[in-house]
Structure 1
């Protein structure tokens, strides 16, 4: 891999997830039909079972804990399927983001702490992820890594989510249309384009964090001022090594097709509003 190309990392990572999880989950929810074509808005068949599978794969299970009857997971199903605002399926990024934020505020989760007390959670990141698997068109997910990449702030709460979509919105439709169209021209499903954008921002987000120092359990967000500095962060180096092995395992023609896709999407990805730290 080129050691300065986040686009290649994004394409390989997105395709790896696409063939192992994403496409299957879109079929599971009914967002695409048996031929892989987008289903009509509103016909998704989300259930507590499919939601739990997505939650586990995308690390939001801790915010949707299960019990004997999976009642809290069913609450999230109900948010989407019983009385969701129509804006949940909007292809306008800000309209949908605002609707999800309102939904999160309206129906918080209460998660039991180890001491038996309840912790109130607003599922900003979780709802954004699960939403994509129900209505993928025009949408991208939010978590702390993509948030750090775009707004340069840590955290995955409602304030960070709002700031993330606000900054992404002005160029979102043009960039996402370009990347999805490029994926289709290269012989891939157009929805892969949305995942490529997510993985591109995720890679940049990884480069925003330094490894935990002595006495710390979590990585600390210290924004890099150059691309080279991002790429030198241990988490990015480890991610690159893993994806390099993945690309080698794919072999040709898949590896060649993915590299061709990188050439098609590289410019569009570079025009996404990635946070730039001040040069020291």
Structure 2
């Protein structure tokens, strides 16, 4: 598209639509990050220490894992990553699509407690409550009908105060109450060729975009439009069609995830 302005890119690709923008941005992230992890887990049947360390870096949760100041060959840090992987893998069957989000979050808290609340504080594997980190790692072993807890996604539904546990509890309860699991299932049914692509994360991206600063939106759109320009006509057409399906069929349902009171408060700022 050359040196088109942001306004023309918005109009050309309909990137002013948050469902459109969320779908394209998550597909971009999925293709460059999540797909490789999901394929590897399919082969290994669970997380391993390499995956824990890589996912932690990609998702900004590495700081929540304790690190040895003196670990020249990295063996102690690998051991901690292995312990985290094992704690998640042992509960993989519990993260089933038949359970509510709040029930699955209880499993996350079991893992958090196992890793952090040891008799000797020096032996703790993670810092404080590794709530967001475990929600993210557990998604990779059971992505269907499950989603990650993220501070910005929670802020989109008005959950801003409290401890990580408290915010995550309210976040998942709200998603249960507003039909997240059914919405994700309906999206999967509507999208063609969605193998290993989980629209649950489109919802996550939609909430994240809803909570992000609107003054930053033009740059997000510019980057997304540049990505669409770069991937070629065939893939761009397929991806835009996918985004249009989400926008046409699920824009109203996505908007319902955000409480009216929170929408009003944002407008009045």
TM-score normalized by the length of structure 1: 0.74
2:212 alignment partner, one of 206, 209, 218: 206
In the TM superposition, residue 147 of structure 1 has moved relative to its aligned partner by 0.8
- Number of aligned residue pairs: give it: 234
Alpha-carbon offset, residue 151 of structure 1: 2.9
Gaps of 5+ in 2: 1-9, 69-73, 119-124
DSSP-derived class of the 1:277 partner: helix
User: Following the alignment from structure 2 to structure 1, what is the Cα–Cα distance between the partners of residues 174 and 165?
Assistant: 14
Gaps of 5+ in 1: 34-42, 111-117, 208-232
Match of 2:19 in 1: 7
Determine whether 1:277 maps to 2:264.
Answer: yes
Q: Distance in 2 between matches of 1:149 and 1:199?
A: 11
Report the Cα distance in structure 1 between the residues aligned to 2:33 and 2:129, rounded to whole angstroms.
Answer: 26
In the alignment, does 2:181 pair up with 1:173? Answer: yes
Contact 1:87 1:95 in 2 (8 A): no
Q: Does residue 1:20 correspond to 2:17, yes or no?
A: no
Task: Provide closer, same or farther for how the CA distance between residues 72 and 155 of structure 1 changes in structure 2, counting only shifts above 3 A.
Answer: farther
**Mapped contact 1:147–1:156 kept (Cα < 8 A):** no
Matched, 1:265 2:246: yes
Q: Which has the higher helix share?
A: 2
Kindly provide the CA deviation profile for residues 133-160 of structure 1, in whole angstroms up to 9, marking residues without a partner as x: 1111111111101111123425771111
Relative to 1, partners in 2 of residues 1:155 and 1:250: Cα closer, same or farther, differing over 3 Å?
Answer: farther
> How far is the alpha carbon of 1:90 from its aligned partner?
4.9
Please give the residue correspondences for 1:100-111 in structure 2 after superposition, counting only pairs within 5 Å.
Answer: 100-108=108-116
Choose from 202, 205, 226 the match for 1:196.
202
| Cα-Cα RMSD | 2.6
| Aligned residue in 2 for 1:230 | none
Quickly say closer, same or farther: Cα 1:255–1:107, change in 2 above 3 A: same
Using CA pairs below 8 Å that are at least 6 residues apart, which structure has the higher relative contact order? 2
Higher fraction of strand: 1
TM-score by length of 2: 0.77
